[in-house]
Structures are given as C-alpha cells and as structure tokens.
Amino acid sequence: MNACDLKGLLAETVAARERAEGVIQGLMQAKAQCEADLARASREDILKKVTGRSSLDNAVIQARKVVESLDRAIDQLRADLAREGAAGSHGELGAMATAARG
C-alpha cells in the first residue's frame, strides 16, 4: 500500500473512531434515559436483574471494544506511514490521529 493510500485509510479510521465515540455517548444517554423511565414506572430491567448488565451496558462494552480496535489500527497505520517516511510526528494526519486518541 502506498503512502497516499495509507493517509486516506488513516483519515477514514480516525473519522470512524470519532463516530464510534459519538455512538458511545448516545448509548450512555439512552441508558440514563431508560433507567430514569424504568424508575418512574417503578419497573426494573429484567436482563440486568438476571445477567447483571442491561442490553445498553452490553452495547457500550462492545462499542468500546470497537474503539480499542480502531486505536490499534490507527497506531499501526501511523507506524506504517512512519516507515514510508510519509508522515512525521508533526504531520497533519499524525496530529489528527493523536488528537483522536487523547
């Protein structure tokens, strides 16, 4: 894969990571809303009662695993770009990837 392809893939991966973080935030908000709704209705989450985790808890866990996978992919792409000599530590995409992780 050439440096141009790697840069494009890095940009897409960073964008996917940002979207995944947004999904996690949405899931957390939905979880809070569901818990509030259940409390108002004096009901409980049956799945959480049986398994210890709600379906939204499970979704957040899985989404965090996706973010971790994307972090590893970003690290690998940055290493590949560094080997290609296409992106230094001050490169725009390298900085974007660093910002996405922090």
Where do the structural domains in the chain lie, given as residue ranges?
A: 3-101
Predicted TM-score (pTM) of this structure: 0.77
User: Which residues does 94 contact at the CB level (< 8 Å), separation at least 6?
Assistant: 78, 81, 87, 88
Q: What is the pLDDT of residues 39-70, one digit of tens each?
A: 999 999 999 999 999 999 999 999 999 999 99
Contact 6, 84 (CB under 8 A): yes
Q: Residue 35 contacts by C-beta under 8 Å, 6 or more apart in sequence?
A: 45
- Using only the alpha carbons of the chain, give its radius of gyration: 19
